Amino acid sequence: MQTPKILRIADKKLIGIGIQTSLAENKTLALWKQFKPLIKEVINRINTNFYSIQVYEDNFDMQQFTPTTPFEKWAAIEVENFKDIPKGLSKFNLVGGLYAVFIHKGTPQEFPKTAASIYGEWLPNSKYTLDNRPHFEILSENYNPNDPNAKEEVWIPIQPIL
């Protein structure tokens, strides 16, 4: 089992595209195909990272999560401010706080193993519980989902168990 880094981050300003989906529908590829061509129009991008964001219902319980559980999915990039947002993109305020950061190595099809380790092993045995904030992955500009050696940072919102 992987030991995560525990990091506190400030709020982040992101712009991107958000959709409603589920794992069964899996509109992720179409979302990124729609988003990527619009990036060149962004003039105040902070870095070259991509954010893949999941916004779950309040009081989200991973134990109750099924392939048909709906959630909001975003493809986004970080910006300095929300001035001059290109047409077709929307703003997203990523609320900062405490996160457990894991590394997923492999294709998206292998992600269920990583998720099972995080939510089924690490979280129940940690001194943390899920916090009601977005979950996200940070992908490098060279990220290739078909590469079996691809790496992504998996950020899980946490809070200490009191």
Q: What is the pLDDT of residue 16?
A: 97
* Cβ 43 vs Cβ 136: under 8 Å: no
Q: Indicate the domain borders of the chain.
A: 5-160
Write out the chain's pLDDT in tens, 162 residues: 679 999 999 999 999 999 998 887 888 889 999 999 999 999 999 999 999 999 988 777 777 777 788 889 999 999 999 998 999 999 999 999 999 999 999 988 888 888 889 988 999 999 999 999 999 999 998 888 888 899 999 999 999 998
* Cβ 90 vs Cβ 13: under 8 Å: no
pTM: 0.92
Q: 5-160 in CATH: which number?
A: 3.20.80.10
